Structure 1
Amino acid sequence: MTNNTDYHQFIDNDEGWVDRRIFWEEEIYEQELKQIFAKSWQFIAHDSMIPNANDFYTTYMGEDGVIGARQKDGSVKVFLNSCPHRGNKFCFADEGNARSFICNYHGWSFGIDGKLGALANEHVYDEGDIDKEKWSPKQARVETYKGLIFATFDQDAPSLDEWLGDFRWYLDMMFDNDGETEFIDGGIKSYVNANWKFGVENFVGDAYHALWNHDSGLKAMNKGEGFGPAVTENSYHASVNGHGWEFGTDGYADVVIGGSEKWLNYVRDIIKPKIKEKYGELRSNIFGSLASVSLFPNISFLPGIQTFRVWLPRGPKKLELRVFTIVNKNMPEEIKQEINNACMMTFNPAGVLEMDDGENWEGNTQVNKGYLTRQEKLHYGCGITREIEHEELPGIIYKGQFNDANQRHFYTRWADLMNADSWNDVPTRYRPRHTKNN
């Protein structure tokens, strides 16, 4: 690949295909690190993970290690986890509470704000050898949305509100339906020998695979009852600038998968009435239905099942998956634990449904080792003629739960950013809401 490559050549929304090379080629992956992960807003942590001053959490933005740290004034700073002396990490812990960080190699120390402080054996330096302010680790921009902490290193990127855009209409069902949310302690890390995009696209809109891939697992959990026949009435795909939510309006399909009657009753008696009062009947019907969601570039969750995950790239052929359970803070503890148990049973590395997916994503990726195989296209044409106008739903809307629409628009957004020299080159890929309701 060259700097003059047009990345739209790798996808075709009119014919409905994607080029396999985007899941394998090293040159494409390196461009992703530069054009997508160095520029996009990315999830760092939830407020509940770092609630107190000096709390920190370490993660990655692309393959750049970062620290998210709560400051004394309640704000959050995000900065590179790399000593500017010889480059080593200066924090190896996943999370914790600290007043400072010290690099193992030469003893350079950094405040909880990321600023370079004292140097071990500083007497070896002459006056004027180093300006500590200039040699502090790079700081990111930080913004939050309803408990979710995001960061970007691109100073010219649009605001987080602009980045999310009208997709906030959907997000509020999950993150503002009955007070504040929180992550249950104990996130899980695992690794899959697969390209990061396969995980994101699975959750952005691939309900189709569940009918076959997860049917036996669901039957094992639910006394022989599987997904049943495919239903497309009153179900949709919604895409806003690469973010996607596919959903039905039955109200409870994802809630019942976990098998908790108490959670089901809580959704019916507490959450849905509050959503209806605050946001209207349509969103009350959407929450808890069979659905899956991804935010561009690498966040996914399942409303009703309550798993929340981040897909961290580890080269074009490997991903690190971080999985959390998200609940409402004011829920009874017994319901929180039933939700967590259901997430562990279904969507964690040993979960009944997650194991199905991981094996397939690895196959999707590794088969592209073959040169001739890699020249073939992948079909993304399901539901390609079903685009509609909807009086309430914001975004680009397609009819039917079983559709490749959100995946097609995810990859269109991917190509937009891969091509862009500046944010002025990035087109808008959504339609605004047709209603004034918030």
Structure 2
Amino acid sequence: MDNNLIKLKPIEASPALPNLDKLCDMEAGRMSGKIFWDGDIYEQELEKIFARCWLFVAHESQIPKAGDYIATTMGEDEVLVVRQKDASIKVLINACPHRGNKVCFAEAGNARGFICNYHGWAFGTDGALRGMHESGVYEDSAFDKSQHGLREARVDSYKGLVFATFAADAPSLAEYLGPMAWYLDVILDNDEGGTEFAGGCIRSTIECNWKIAAENFVGDILHAGWTHDSAARAMLGGAVAQVSDFPESWSVNWNGHGYEFARDLVGNAAVLGESAINKYLHLQAPKAAERLGEFRSRMLGAVSSFTLFPNFSFLPGQNTMRVWQPRGPNKIELYTWVIVNKNAPQDVKDKWRRGAMMTFSPTGVFEMDDGENWEYCTKTSRGKVTRYQDLYVGLGMNTRLADTDLPGNVFKGQLNEANSRAFYQYWKDLLKAPSWADVPDRNGQLR
């Protein structure tokens, strides 16, 4: 274990907030709007969720060469994701251990090291302290440079996606993903060349609680046929199929992660309005079937959405991946990327990127719809009476499927709030648990 990682002291868990069971009761399918507005709840989320869970920080394609880095956040902690000389990746807290100033102000680049503007402390790309301005004054003291490097998070990756956690006691990434990795492979491993991010990061701000956005992708297909009807008709030039028309669809969850999907191959992709993308998916499906089996090959661009708990989501077909970065209880900074197969033709990659700009970007026809709804779902919860109003999350109770070979907790149909219930149950379990060892395993018990 790296010395810098050892020096990252564990956070002593704060006592659980009172009344969490009253605010969030997934057995009854009800919760309170207070969880979207309360400042004390948000502070506990930063400590017990964002400082504990595995969080997405980068795609390996963003930092291909030694010294390449990107700046991002884990919760509200600013970090640098840096490619090392041995091709490994480190995630370093972007704060000098002398007075806490940022050591890097750029969003991305290539560097031989990082230097603090305040007192000239210089760090290697591995985070080790190399020297300081006026270094001679430290020579006669007990100062040990090896104890003052940039603090480091645990890092692991899955098929190009890089994750990090600050928790030494967190399960491994493989355990954290569990059976949901089988579904991740639909977008990450349908081609032998793997994936890459096309273009840069799209960043925007929405005045909403992070959970509302994350839950929308974990399993809320309910809104699509209503909220996005006019936009979808405009993009497709005619009537839009309803989710209830699909003969087969599922909702699957595991430890707060959730994927809702059909197997129509191009349903999500079609709304980009690019026939070349639909053609590519039809040509790719047989290749995907060889790698993933026929069942998953029909999921490539299908009507579907996915959230890895807590705040990493993507849309197959539209091929947008996003992180809902928390910036207080009623604000998020949204980071969005377009993911494509490395081996896809360049014109198809370009059309995917342009299609994402038209649909899921700050001016996209679908994102504007969602952003307005999420903001008002958050803002109504500031009312003293409204914040205690019961919100219903009970659709699809007792629809779990026992006679299926699909991995995870599988529920009948996409028009189902099973994934939302699993998301909020896991959220509550983490807020109540003093450590990872205290988080209950509810898989197999969900309704």
Contact 1:100 1:111 in 2 (8 A): yes
Tell me the residue number matched to 2:212: 198
CA deviation vs aligned residue, 1:356-390 (integer Å, no higher than 9, x gap): 00111111111112100111121111122322224
CA deviation vs aligned residue, 1:222-280 (integer Å, no higher than 9, x gap): 2133344733531110001111000112222112111211111111112x112222222
Contact 1:241 1:429 in 2 (8 A): yes
Contact 1:215 1:227 in 2 (8 A): no
C-alpha change, 1:365 and 1:27, in structure 2 (3 Å) is same
Q: Secondary structure at the match of 2:44?
A: helix
Of 145, 149, 170 in structure 2, the residue corresponding to residue 136 of structure 1 is: 149
1:189 aligns to 2:206 (yes or no)? no
Tell me the residue number matched to 2:183: 170
Stretches of 4+ aligned residues off by more than 6 angstroms: none
CA deviation vs aligned residue, 1:203-222 (integer Å, no higher than 9, x gap): 11110101110001111112
CA drift of 1:4 comes to 5.6
| Percent of paired sites with the same residue | 48
For the aligned residue pairs, the C-alpha RMSD in angstroms reads: 1.6
1:249 aligns to 2:263 (yes or no)? yes
- In structure 1, distance between residues paired with 2:129 and 2:313: 35
Tell me the residue number matched to 1:258: 272
- In structure 2, distance between residues paired with 1:32 and 1:248: 32
**Letter of the 1:211 counterpart:** G
CA deviation vs aligned residue, 1:316-374 (integer Å, no higher than 9, x gap): 01101000000000111000001111111100111000000011111111111210011
CA deviation vs aligned residue, 1:105-142 (integer Å, no higher than 9, x gap): 11111111111111012233342242111111211111
- In structure 2, distance between residues paired with 1:168 and 1:382: 26
1:222 aligns to 2:236 (yes or no)? yes
Tell me the residue number matched to 2:37: 24
Alignment of 1:81-96 (within 5 A): 81-96=94-109
Contact 2:243 2:415 in 1 (8 A): no
Tell me the residue number matched to 1:333: 346
CA drift of 1:82 comes to 0.5
Of 417, 424, 435 in structure 2, the residue corresponding to residue 404 of structure 1 is: 417
**Letter of the 2:332 counterpart:** L
Contact 2:210 2:332 in 1 (8 A): yes
1:342 aligns to 2:355 (yes or no)? yes
**Letter of the 1:156 counterpart:** D
Tell me the residue number matched to 1:277: 290
CA drift of 1:305 comes to 1.1
Alignment of 1:221-240 (within 5 A): 221-228=235-242, 230-231=244-245, 233-240=247-254
CA deviation vs aligned residue, 1:274-310 (integer Å, no higher than 9, x gap): 2222222211122221101100011000111100101
Q: Which runs of 5+ in 2 are unaligned?
A: 1-13
Contact 2:16 2:431 in 1 (8 A): no
Tell me the residue number matched to 1:113: 126
**How many residues are aligned here?**
431
Q: Secondary structure at the match of 1:93?
A: coil
- In structure 1, distance between residues paired with 2:374 and 2:37: 13
C-alpha change, 1:64 and 1:259, in structure 2 (3 Å) is same
Tell me the residue number matched to 2:389: 376
Of 282, 286, 300 in structure 1, the residue corresponding to residue 313 of structure 2 is: 300
**Letter of the 2:268 counterpart:** D
Q: Secondary structure at the match of 1:340?
A: helix
Q: Secondary structure at the match of 1:427?
A: coil
Alignment of 1:2-17 (within 5 A): 3=16, 5=18, 7-17=20-30
CA deviation vs aligned residue, 1:36-94 (integer Å, no higher than 9, x gap): 01110001100000010000011111111111100000000111100111111111111
Alignment of 1:46-125 (within 5 A): 46-125=59-138
Q: Secondary structure at the match of 2:217?
A: helix
Q: Which runs of 5+ in 1 are unaligned?
A: 433-438
Q: Secondary structure at the match of 2:335?
A: strand
**Letter of the 2:368 counterpart:** M
CA deviation vs aligned residue, 1:396-426 (integer Å, no higher than 9, x gap): 1111111111111001111111111122211
**Letter of the 1:238 counterpart:** V
- In structure 2, distance between residues paired with 1:229 and 1:350: 25
Larger mean CA deviation between 30-39 and 14-23 belongs to: 14-23
**Letter of the 1:374 counterpart:** R
Tell me the residue number matched to 1:213: 227
C-alpha change, 1:137 and 1:371, in structure 2 (3 Å) is same
Tell me the residue number matched to 1:435: none
- In structure 1, distance between residues paired with 2:188 and 2:132: 43
CA drift of 1:6 comes to 6.0
